[in-house]
Amino acid sequence: MALTIGVPKEVAAGERRVAVVPEVVRKFSSAGFEVLVEAGAGEEAYFTDDAFREAGARIGKGGEALGADIVLKVTPPSESEIGKMKSGSVLLGLLDPLGMPALSLKLASRSVTALSMELAPRISRAQKMDALSAMSSVAGYQAVLQAATALPRFFPLLTTAAGTVKPANVLVLGAGVAGLQAIATARRLGARVSAYDIRDAAQEEVRSLGAKFVELAFETQQDADTGGYATALTEEKAAQQTALLVPYIGAADVVISTALVPGRSAPVLITDEALQAMKPGSVVVDLAAAGGGNCTATKPGETVTVHGVRIFGPLDLPSEAPIDASAMYARTLFAVLAEFSDGETFRPDFDNEIFKGMCVTHEGQVVHERVRTLLDT
């Protein structure tokens, strides 16, 4: 008997993405799954119910979607949604288990097998399942567009009858997926771009995109962990880093900050001193706002002005490009289910490092070691 996949409408405020798009519904149907999409689930992303029907999905109510064998979501489920999931079902989504560990207990109490998409290990075999990188790429792109709209001057070099306009200076802090996309987008818009990352390995990638790499004169013992994330600096080194960044931040018209590691507070990179060094009208877009922000003045979900500098603290930039963001995310979900299910049976496999890395709850227990540690503290 075919497994049913349920796709409920996202209920988080401002969320416009949907977990599955018609293109991926066709893939699921071909793989032997039955897909049930809640009526209106895709309307904010411009995917109509008729488009889902034509792709082979059935349109139903939210309770039906949440009661499916496998539930696919974008954002973490609410308590109400968890209450409608059936015992033994499977949930895939961006569950934020390191930021919201208590949610794992609620999922375990319903005997839901929950796989958190942002916990996909950064190995080559799991690359097609890496939803976090996909969404980070969208966020980096959108951050530059937001900055370009807010900046009271042009990004590119322009030669006009009224004289020459110099290009804007853009500084990107953090050269992970979001940072590299921000660099590429700012370059396409004609800005003069520089970037900083504590990881030496990032230099080549930054320069390959035509940006200047900012090298600070201080040493670190180890600059990246096994997952490719920057490691936390000692308090002394962190203070050195922020002080050395001040002149580079002060010379920038736009700063895009992206230094965020799941489960940790975002490191402070932009101090009040740095904001004072910036020109009035300059812009900071802090993609680490959800983790407290890389800027001391950041207010998550808000825009504030300090020393004449506008600081944006967006929390869900991928929702600003819901068509492509939804499609990219849906493909990562399909890749996970293609790995662990054949359309009739879901196969938990704790000997598989991908499954073990992503699985948060199973058979009534919180099974992810790091999440259990957070619950015990």
- Catalytic residue from among 89, 104, 116, 133: 133
Angle at 113 between CA 57 and CA 40, to 5 degrees: 30
Q: Is 127 a catalytic residue?
A: yes
The reported pLDDT for the residue numbered 231 is 61
For 197-205, the CB contacts below 8 A with 24+ separation are 197/173, 197/230, 198/223, 198/224, 198/230, 198/233, 198/241, 199/175, 199/223, 199/224, 199/230, 202/175, 202/176, 205/175, 205/180
The reported pLDDT for the residue numbered 227 is 52
For the chain, the three-class secondary structure string (H helix, E strand, C coil) is CCCEEEECCCCCCCCCCCCCCHHHHHHHHHCCCEEEEECCCCHHHCCCHHHHHHHCCEEECHHHHHCCCEEECCCCCCHHHHHCCCCCCEEEECCCCCCCCHHHHHHHHCCCEEEEHHHCCCCHHHHHHCHHHHHHHHHHHHHHHHHHHHCCCCCCCEEECCEEECCCEEEEECCCHHHHHHHHHHHHCCCEEEEECCCCCHHHHHHHCCCEECCCCCCCCCCCCCCCCCCCCCHHHHHHHHHHHHHHHHCCCEEEECCCCCCCCCCCCECHHHHHHCCCCCEEEECCHHHCCCECCCCCCCEEEECCEEEECCCCHHHHCHHHHHHHHHHHHHHHHHHHECCCCECCCCCCHHHHHHEEEECCEECCHHHHHHHHC
Q: Is 276 a catalytic residue?
A: no
- Catalytic residue from among 30, 78, 109, 127: 127
The reported pLDDT for the residue numbered 234 is 78
Sheet holding 359-362, edge to edge: 58-60, 34-38, 4-7, 70-72, 90-93, 113-116, 359-362, 365-366
Domain locations along the chain:
4-119+321-364, 136-319
- Catalytic residue from among 122, 153, 188, 370: 122
Tell me whether the CATH fold assigned to 4-119+321-364 matches the one assigned to 136-319. Answer: yes
- Catalytic residue from among 153, 203, 223, 229: 229
Q: Is 119 exposed, middle or buried (0-12, 13-18, 19+ CB in 10 A)?
A: buried
> How far apart are alpha carbons 174 and 179 in whole angstroms?
6
In this prediction the pTM is: 0.92
Q: Is 229 a catalytic residue?
A: yes
Give domain 136-319's CATH superfamily: NAD(P)-binding Rossmann-like Domain (3.40.50.720)
Residue 275 half-sphere exposure toward CB, CA atoms < 13 A: 22
Q: Is 133 a catalytic residue?
A: yes
Task: Fill in the amino acid letter for 369.
Answer: E
The reported pLDDT for the residue numbered 48 is 98
pLDDT tens, position by position, 225-260: 545 555 667 788 888 899 999 999 999 999 999 998
What is the fold, at CATH topology level, of the domain defined by 4-119+321-364?
A: Rossmann fold (3.40.50)
Q: Is 104 a catalytic residue?
A: no
- Catalytic residue from among 130, 253, 286, 316: 130
Residues (pLDDT < 50) of the chain are: 221-222, 226
Sheet holding 192-196, edge to edge: 212-213, 192-196, 169-173, 254-257, 283-286, 309-312, 303-306
